Chain A
Amino acid sequence: MKRYALRQVVQLAVVIVGISMLAFAILHVIGDPVTLLLPQNAGKDEYARYNTLLGLDKPIYVQYWKFASRAAQGDFGKSWYADTPAFKLVLERMPPTLYLTTAGLVTALLIALPLGILAALKRHSFVDSLCTMVAVAGQAMPIFWLGIMLIIIFAVQLRLLPASGYGTWRHFLMPAFTLGAFLAPITMRLVRSGVIEIMNMEYIKTARAKGLAERLVVIKHAFRNACIPVITVLGLQFGQLLGGAVITETVFAWPGVATLTVDAIRNQDFPVVQCAVVLLALIIVTVNFLVDMIVGLIDPRIRVGA
């Protein structure tokens, strides 16, 4: 297990360096940053001054090294728009998004696991069709539509929950459900097909032959193995979930990092974009690392094979 973990850590480091290079490149591929920064009527002198000021006259590897070593200390420069360090801006907005995505993930699992297993065990029955219908409907519903419908029903009509905002557990329910509903269908279908496949395996027959109760067969033998693809996909879907968070955050006025990033892109606020890209990528990479670890724990073949 230790060797397996070590290999994963090395891979992690390589990916992080790659991401920092990409983030560094953002500023350079979209055009000349000095032209972007300066007003239309700026003269040549001013151009040259800014070029030196930003260090753009130095060779590219020197520039990258400066960027990377500063970034490692959390210094991405000041936001061009808000007059505040980019790192501070991004960090402030990180927890709401992490809360939201985690809650969305949990909601998705709470929906997907029971329904998926049920659908697999009662294959081709009415229950199975019902679950499939729920999945298709969930996948077909755009996030913003579902979000606004929930607001109209639970906030405007029933007055049970606050329509938007951030602060208490009551603010949490609708955004978490909205995001969870976005991820649940695909997860549910995976659970269903995984369980169906495994239920036909030899070792399940063995388990049944030795007289285990059906409940134990499903929970101890089938489910654990069906988990592996589900966990892997959830890890991969985490990035998708951040994409969904942009819309969820906008609809529910949720002060997260996803909307901050999109705003920063729109405002061409590059320090913030770079900082957000690096930190979000770090989170995604870490989540995937954890997924690999968990999968390794569940399935010995994976860590031994590695």
Chain B
Amino acid sequence: MRRSLATGLLAILALALVPPAGAQTREETLIYSLQSDIDNWDPPNSVLREAIILGYHVYDHLAVRDLKTRRVGPNLATSWTNIDDTTWEVKLRQGVKFHDGTPFTSRDVKATFDRVLDPTKKMTARGNHAKIKAVDIIDDHTVRFRTDGPYPLFVERLTAQVMQSDKVIREKGHEWMQENPVGTGPYKLVKWNRKQEHQLVRNDDYWGPKPAFKHLRIRIIPEKATEIAELLSGGVDIIKAVPPDQMDVINKSGQARTGTSPILRTAMLQLDQASRSGPNPFTDRRVRQAANLAVDNDAIIKFVLNGLGDRVATGVNPMAFGWDPGLKPYKQDLAQAKKLLAEAGYPQGVDVLFNEGPPIVEPAIQQTNDAIIADMTKAGFRVKRNYIGDNTVLVARIKDGKAGSMFNWSWGYYSVFDADAILFDVFKCGENYSYYCNPALDDLIIQGRSTLDQKKRTEVYVKAQKLLFDDAAYLYKWGLRGVWGISNRIEYQAPADEVDRMFLVTPKKK
């Protein structure tokens, strides 16, 4: 008994010490790292940024953004025209094949949108395309989209929907699609070890330019310090969201470098003008203006963020369609700020509550909050700080209208480079994430989304930004910049839309 027990224990130990092995040549392999994994391989059924990124590698979209010009151009669609205010005709690329060999045709476009728009399917992406009423097949490579009223964001939104196969949707079904992506994209999925790694291999039948690296591994490394160590020891080639204070470590290592890019995300402190959380001093415009005049954001960007920010006059990002370059941001003016507070009835200063968020989306948020509050204090604001460590809790409180008089907020536009993508969600009366309400602005927002005339839209958004600036809707901060860590063995351009494209990576020329 004793001996068999000992043998048994030894056997368990032996098993324990010999985990399964897996090998690949490093030369032809590119390794990209993410801090958290996707929930499924069905991009329209996921809300995660990681799902968007991985989707780009296995699937194709009808249209894609050119990273240099930031304009949307053809991809699986070769052209689009609006026949009338509510009909778009889209021509499709010929000779494209899915990974299972079936050709890509208009049936796949229709099946993809039918599936996403079907309310019973409860797909996450449905909201993005809710303006589309139906997709009609004209011939094998022509489709028509019918929209519910004029839909100026139609082309932008084509970049947000991967094309899935009609055959797979019909024959394999929803359940199967959660783990088995069949796309037309530059890479094919070989293996997915949940929360560990995705192994992809180049699609040698790809219709477009073929990726330089044959193998692509996407590793999940939750701990930032480990991610950076992997980059420096050559275990990983690209990491994202490098903290500003680690940039030097990477740049001086001789192994890797950092790359930065402005990204489509603006940060602000929302002020409860709409008094969703109850009466508060910020319902008075003078108090909001005083807050904007109190803070020296230029100095904060320069000294706290190492220059990793782009000053904005309102919430509209410089990269978004409709941005007004003529509108200059608030400049610090403490005397004027104090004067406005006194006029508003607070000559002795005013108490406000500040709900602070965790450092998940905005780099160095703690440090920039410290600096902002120091400035506000100089102008007479007495800020009571309340730290909320869990971002989901903060977001839930914001949605519930319980976020208080002032709170951290940043908005990523759902990657749609258009002013409407922030104005509607963050500034319109009654929207979940808006603590501002002004019928005059709402009129402009509706005007802007009801016409296809881009010139007219630009005029509308210039007016809207002027209004938001004068009314000091929120405390405006800056457009964020992303920081990537890039191995010296490769060439890579940091992307403005926060979508890393590994198929564009090339080996460094020697």
Q: Which A residues are closer than 8 A to B by beta carbons?
A: 1, 40, 81-84, 89, 92-93, 95-96, 98-99, 102-103, 106, 144, 148, 151-152, 155-156, 159, 162-169, 171-172, 250-253, 255, 259-260, 263, 293-294, 297
A4 to B400, CA, bound (A): 58
A180 to B210, CA, bound (A): 47
State how many residues of chain B have any CB contact under 8 Å with chain A.
38
A294 to B6, CA, bound (A): 10
Q: Which of A82, A163, A253 contacts B222 (CB 8 A)?
A: A253
Say yes or no: A255 contacts B193, CB within 8 Å. yes
Say yes or no: A102 contacts B13, CB within 8 Å. yes
A95 to B17, CA, bound (A): 11
The 4 closest A-B pairs by CB, nearest first: A255-B196, A102-B16, A253-B221, A155-B233
Contacts of A260 in B (CB 8 A): 195
Say yes or no: A259 contacts B196, CB within 8 Å. no
Say yes or no: A84 contacts B178, CB within 8 Å. yes
B181 to chain A, nearest CB (A): 14
Say yes or no: B40 contacts A172, CB within 8 Å. no
| Chain A residue at minimum C-beta to C-beta distance from B175 | A83
27 examples of A-B residue contacts, CB within 8 angstroms: A1-B1, A83-B178, A84-B179, A103-B16, A103-B17, A151-B229, A159-B234, A163-B233, A164-B221, A164-B223, A164-B226, A164-B230, A164-B235, A165-B196, A165-B235, A167-B19, A250-B223, A251-B223, A251-B226, A253-B196, A253-B220, A253-B221, A253-B222, A253-B226, A255-B195, A255-B220, A259-B222
A297 to B197, CA, bound (A): 44
Contacts of B178 in A (CB 8 A): 83-84
| Chain A residue at minimum C-beta to C-beta distance from B35 | A253
B162 to chain A, nearest CB (A): 17
The interface bits of chain B over 17-57 (1 if a CB of A lies within 8 angstroms of the residue's CB, else 0) are 11111100000000000000001100001000000000000
Q: Is B225 an interface residue (CB 8 A)?
A: yes
Say yes or no: B1 contacts A297, CB within 8 Å. yes
Say yes or no: B399 contacts A40, CB within 8 Å. yes
Contacts of B229 in A (CB 8 A): 148, 151-152, 155-156, 163-164
Say yes or no: A83 contacts B39, CB within 8 Å. yes
A34 to chain B, nearest CB (A): 17
A78 to chain B, nearest CB (A): 10
Say yes or no: B39 contacts A82, CB within 8 Å. yes
Contacts of A93 in B (CB 8 A): 194-195
Say yes or no: A102 contacts B19, CB within 8 Å. no
A103 to B22, CA, bound (A): 20
A297 to B5, CA, bound (A): 10
A156, A255, A260: residue with the most chain B Cβ atoms closer than 10 Å? A156
| Chain A residue at minimum C-beta to C-beta distance from B15 | A99
The interface bits of chain B over 194-214 (1 if a CB of A lies within 8 angstroms of the residue's CB, else 0) are 111100000000000000000
B12, B39, B221, B233: residue with the most chain A Cβ atoms closer than 10 Å? B233
A106 to B16, CA, bound (A): 10
Q: Which of B17, B193, B399, B400 contacts A169 (CB 8 A)?
A: B17
Say yes or no: A155 contacts B235, CB within 8 Å. yes
CB-CB under 8 A for A167 and B21, given A84-B178, A156-B233, A250-B223: yes
A230 to B175, CA, bound (A): 49
| Chain A residue at minimum C-beta to C-beta distance from B432 | A40
Q: Is B61 an interface residue (CB 8 A)?
A: no
Say yes or no: A168 contacts B12, CB within 8 Å. no
Say yes or no: B194 contacts A255, CB within 8 Å. yes
A159 to B196, CA, bound (A): 22
Contacts of B12 in A (CB 8 A): 102
Say yes or no: B40 contacts A82, CB within 8 Å. yes
Q: Is B510 an interface residue (CB 8 A)?
A: no
A95 to B223, CA, bound (A): 21
A155 to B225, CA, bound (A): 12
CB-CB under 8 A for A83 and B196, given A98-B16, A148-B229, A253-B223: no
Say yes or no: A106 contacts B13, CB within 8 Å. yes
The interface bits of chain B over 366-403 (1 if a CB of A lies within 8 angstroms of the residue's CB, else 0) are 00000000000000000000000000000000011000
A2 to B317, CA, bound (A): 75
A221 to B5, CA, bound (A): 21
A159 to B13, CA, bound (A): 28
B487 to chain A, nearest CB (A): 13
Contacts of B175 in A (CB 8 A): 83
Contacts of A156 in B (CB 8 A): 229, 232-233
A169 to B179, CA, bound (A): 29
A259 to B226, CA, bound (A): 16
A103 to B179, CA, bound (A): 32
A143 to chain B, nearest CB (A): 12
Contacts of A98 in B (CB 8 A): 16
Contacts of B225 in A (CB 8 A): 148, 151, 251
Q: Which of B5, B196, B234 contacts A166 (CB 8 A)?
A: B196
Q: Is B508 an interface residue (CB 8 A)?
A: no
Q: Is B455 an interface residue (CB 8 A)?
A: no
Say yes or no: A294 contacts B399, CB within 8 Å. no
